[in-house]
A = this chain, B = another copy of it.
Amino acid sequence: MPTSILKTEIDQQPEVIRNLLNSQQENVQRIARQIRGKFQYVLIAARGTSDNAARYAQYLLGINNRLQVALATPSVFSIYHAPVDLCGALVIGISQSGQSPDIVSVIAEAKKQGRPTLAITNNPQSPLAENAEYLIPLQAGEERAVAATKTYTASLAALALLSCSLLEHPEYAAELQKLPDAMQTTLQNTEIAIARAERYRYMEHCAVIGRGYNYASAFEIALKIKELTRVVAEPYSSADFRHGPIATAQSGFPVILIAPRSAVQDDLLDLIRNLQSRGAELLIISDDPAALEQAHFPLPIARGLPEWLTPLITVLPGQRFAMQLAIEKHLNVDQPEGLTKVTETL
């Protein structure tokens, strides 16, 4: 079988991130110097995969930078034409293509209100880039597979660079440099584990659970599974899952848990025990042998990354799992039926 475009793009990720970290450091430091002190909170406009990058920003900028992050409701601007008062906001638009009119409308309105605006996009000639005051180009190369992978992790890395640059904390910046190797190791680990994914050939739905920084990975892995395999995959935080949906976790129900060593680890280990007592089927993405031991399907990630950077590696086994499941189901991984690469919504 020839290598798919999707597999090539998944495997490019360590190199894409290395390139972004090296080439964009100065640009992002300059942006940070210019916006520092000019806002009280952050508003992010994004859709689909980019919205999951925004979820990462909620925890990254929240915990590391003590910034409150709001996610925009673009239709308020684009359909209801009732732009909110953005006083106090730094407004960030994230979009691979930079084309979606609803995301562009938020940035355009922010600019009109005189707020600082930043575009994070893989297309520096896009309407999003052209409307924003500042730009972090992802430089990931053209993404040809419909399911976004390298532009997702590149968006996370761009946000991590921004967080570090706003902090001016040399230790954090040094940790960023560990990313490409940790991503490479994780992809290698995954390649070994993934052969057994055929176990899930007839899975019809599943839940994907993460918390804190890795809440974003739960959403992004669920989205990849839905896009590539049509399996109904539902993302949750462990807390929200306990507030209702846990009722669906009957015997055999597959749950993908993102449980790296972290501040939320005890909470997740407790949920793992609860799910085991219900007879759920556990797929666990972790660097913790104690967690991996509890899994029917362990997906080990590289060790040694600080928690705030783990979302860049926990998503990788999820991307690869979604791709493998599509192969087992005889589906086209590069061009899933019913989807287009650029979706323009109002």
Contacts and interface: CB of A to CB of B under 8 A. Distances in A.
A83 B65 CA distance: 10
Interface stretch (A9-17, A18-26, A236-244): A236-244
Contact of A263 (B40, B59, B80, B248): B80
Interface string A248-260: 1110000000000
A86 interface: yes
A286 to B, nearest CB: 17
A243 to B, nearest CB: 3
B338 A243 contact: no
Contact of A47 (B80, B240, B264): B240
A89 B71 CA distance: 15
A84 interface: yes
B247 A227 contact: yes
A230 B62 CA distance: 34
B264 A79 contact: yes
A177 interface: no
Interface string A44-73: 000111010000001100111011111101
Contacts of A87: 40
A234 B226 CA distance: 11
A297 interface: no
Interface string A97-117: 000001000000000000000
Interface in A131-187: none
Contacts of A62: 73, 76, 80, 82, 84
Contact of A243 (B43, B83, B264, B343): B343
A267 B40 contact: no
Interface in A300-346: 336-339, 343, 345-346
A240 B70 CA distance: 17
Q: Which of A89, A234, A239, A267: most chain B CB closer than 10 A? A: A239
Contacts of A343: 242-243
A53 B70 CA distance: 16
Closest 3 CB pairs of A and B: A70-B70, A48-B243, A239-B345
17 contacts: A62-B82, A64-B82, A66-B84, A66-B85, A68-B85, A68-B86, A70-B70, A70-B71, A71-B71, A74-B239, A230-B250, A232-B234, A234-B234, A238-B345, A242-B345, A246-B339, A247-B339
Given A51-B240, A62-B80, A66-B83, 17 more contacts: A43-B68, A47-B239, A49-B244, A62-B82, A64-B82, A68-B70, A69-B70, A79-B212, A88-B88, A102-B239, A204-B205, A205-B232, A226-B248, A227-B245, A234-B234, A246-B338, A247-B338
Interface of A: 40-41, 43, 47-49, 51, 58-59, 62-64, 66-71, 73-76, 79-80, 82-89, 102, 204-205, 211-212, 215, 223, 226-227, 230-232, 234, 237-240, 242-250, 263-264, 267, 278, 336-339, 343, 345-346
